[in-house]
Copies of this chain bind each other. A is one copy, B any other.
Amino acid sequence: MNVAITGGGGFLGRRLAKALLADPAVSRITLVDASEVEAFSQDRRLEIRRADLRDAGAARSVADGADTLFHLAAVVSGQAEAEFDLGMAVNVDATRSLLEAARAGNRRPKFLFTSSLAVFGPPLPEVVTEETAVHPRSSYGAQKAMGELLVCEFNRRGFVDGRVLRLPTVCVRPGRPNAAASSFVSSIIREPLNGEPANCPVGKDLELWLTSPKAVVANLVHGARLPDDALGEGRIVNLPGITVTVGEMIDSLARVAGHGASERITFKSDETVKRIVASWPARFDVTRALGLGFTRDSGFVSLVEDYLATEGRRAP
């Protein structure tokens, strides 16, 4: 298995690379990012490369030889809303460049594209499925929806073996807040666990659709390993998640880390974040994903524990 991971410098990309390196069938991983990525493994199968996929030549050199591409590179939701043209260039044009590069070799490589619940928006049914129409209410969501259509069409034409996985909001992300509208979802857990203050820009009643990084990485690997005919003509899968309110998240935090932690959260409303995040669905029927063998977190506490374990810590 000769793997390329774009946006590989992000924390999901690095975790995915580590998971794949544990598989002896993986002969090579090219981890590509637009930014400099610090080496995180001495494994000689791993090559870290800096490249801007908007350049067709760079896209070709990434796709060249790879039989499995994980296309994670993206401009996140808050930034795509603030910088429309940059979002189009990266989320749409670079996706198309990489698909064209993958098509060029006539080898029909696996092309795994990470999409998002952000393709959905009101009016929403009670429960979202793969048969729900996309109504994106953010540039990020619209751009991901275009990427989905590109991957599905390149698959249908036989140019790639395309798979689209729609991710729930990932929580708890390590590190610092980012430009995603959903950044607070991790901050309100991570910062208090680290003894720092965090702001929650939405109300406690807001429902979210969440997944742990651990489940996402397992599901990305599973998504690439699934046989082509298991998916059939429906190349899009809504990945499993859990439905939790912001209030339930904070209660869980207090249970795991004490009220001292949850009291570090302030509630200053942010209308831009609210508008985007509240347009996302929080209830899905993931019968299809579970039937295909994708995994689901057991509950919100396990998301907190996954974070602590990754950081080499135990619940305080």
A137: chain B residues at CB < 8 Å are 156, 233
Binds B, one of A49-57, A143-151, A186-194, A291-299: A143-151
Report how many copies the assembly holds.
2
Q: What does the 1/0 interface line of A142-168 toward B look like (CB < 8 Å)?
A: 110110011011001100000000000
Task: Provide the bound-state CA to CA distance between A267 and B89, in Å.
Answer: 48
A156: chain B residues at CB < 8 Å are 137, 142
Interchain CB contact under 8 A, A136 and B153:
yes
Interchain CB contact under 8 A, B131 and A142:
no
Task: Provide the bound-state CA to CA distance between A137 and B233, in Å.
Answer: 9
A139: chain B residues at CB < 8 Å are 153, 157
Interchain CB contact under 8 A, A133 and B136:
no
Known contacts being A130-B133, A131-B123, A133-B134, is A153 close to B149, with CB within 8 Å?
no
A125: chain B residues at CB < 8 Å are 131
A132: chain B residues at CB < 8 Å are 131, 133
| A11 interface hit (Cβ, 8 Å) | no
Interchain CB contact under 8 A, A145 and B136:
no
A145: chain B residues at CB < 8 Å are 149
Task: Provide the bound-state CA to CA distance between A134 and B149, in Å.
Answer: 9
Interchain CB contact under 8 A, B157 and A150:
no
A134: chain B residues at CB < 8 Å are 133-134, 149
**Which of B122, B130, B142, B234 is A153 in contact with, Cβ under 8 Å?**
B142
A143: chain B residues at CB < 8 Å are 153
Interchain CB contact under 8 A, B152 and A142:
yes
Task: Provide the bound-state CA to CA distance between A232 and B248, in Å.
Answer: 34
Interchain CB contact under 8 A, A149 and B152:
no
Residue picked from A133, A143, A153, A156, most chain B C-beta under 10 Å: A153
A84: chain B residues at CB < 8 Å are 157
Nearest-CB distance from A115 to chain B (Å)? 13
Nearest-CB distance from A80 to chain B (Å)? 10
A150: chain B residues at CB < 8 Å are 146
Task: Provide the bound-state CA to CA distance between A136 and B234, in Å.
Answer: 11
Nearest-CB distance from A290 to chain B (Å)? 18
Nearest-CB distance from A96 to chain B (Å)? 8
Residue picked from A123, A133, A157, most chain B C-beta under 10 Å: A133
Interchain CB contact under 8 A, A149 and B136:
yes
Residue of B nearest to A130 (CB): B133
A153: chain B residues at CB < 8 Å are 136, 139, 142-143
Q: Which residues of A in the span 99-127 have a Cβ within 8 Å of any Cβ on B?
A: 122-123, 125
Q: A123-B131, A142-B153 are in contact. List 7 more A-B contacts (CB 8 A).
A: A84-B157, A135-B233, A136-B153, A137-B156, A137-B233, A139-B157, A146-B146
Q: What are 5 A-B interface contacts by the 8 Å CB criterion?
A: A136-B153, A137-B233, A139-B153, A143-B153, A145-B149
User: Nearest 4 A-B pairs (CB), nearest first?
Assistant: A142-B153, A131-B133, A133-B133, A146-B149
